[in-house]
């Protein structure tokens, strides 16, 4: 808490930070996938992070700290920080196989429906 937020180190702010951290975790899971978030947490617990994981973990910690610190004023995530995390994952997909194999990645990269002349119905998207 003292490393990533500007909040005072008190019991009250600790309780607030825990709740805010859970919300930040939900935003991160939506962005990087639950599968990759779970893998990151397991690697942290077992000291098995590789260089690429450390990069994403640091970005996630910065996002979480900022979200906890600015929650009272913004109550929404810093989209630029989430975009930076996603850019890292999308730019180097070979370095993040768990993310690439996740349902989140598949949904983002699914082939979109294409209207054809011979189709009886035309869809506007």
- DSSP for 19-37 reads HHHHHHHHHHHHHH-HHHH
pTM for the whole structure: 0.83
- In the chain, domain spans: 11-107
Based on DSSP, count helices (H) and strands (E) in the chain, helices before strands.
Answer: 6, 0
Digit-coded pLDDT (tens) for 2-51: 788 888 888 988 898 899 999 999 999 999 999 999 999 999 999 999 99
Which pLDDT score is estimated for 117? 73
Positive or negative, the CA dihedral 94, 90, 34, 113 is negative
3-state SS of the chain: helix, strand, coil percent to 5?
65, 0, 35
């Amino acid at each position: 808490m003292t490393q990533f937020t500007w909040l005072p180190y008190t019991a009250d702010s600790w309780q607030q930070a825990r709740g805010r951290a859970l919300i930040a975790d939900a935003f991160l899971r939506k962005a990087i996938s639950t599968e990759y978030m779970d893998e990151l947490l397991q690697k942290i617990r077992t000291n098995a992070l590789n260089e690429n994981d450390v990069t994403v973990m640091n970005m996630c910690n910065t996002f979480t700290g900022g979200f906890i610190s600015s929650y009272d004023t913004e109550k929404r995530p810093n989209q630029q920080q989430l975009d930076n995390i996603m850019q890292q994952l999308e730019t180097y997909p070979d370095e993040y196989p768990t993310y690439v194999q996740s349902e989140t990645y598949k949904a983002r990269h699914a082939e979109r429906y294409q209207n054809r002349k011979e189709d009886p119905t035309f869809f506007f998207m």
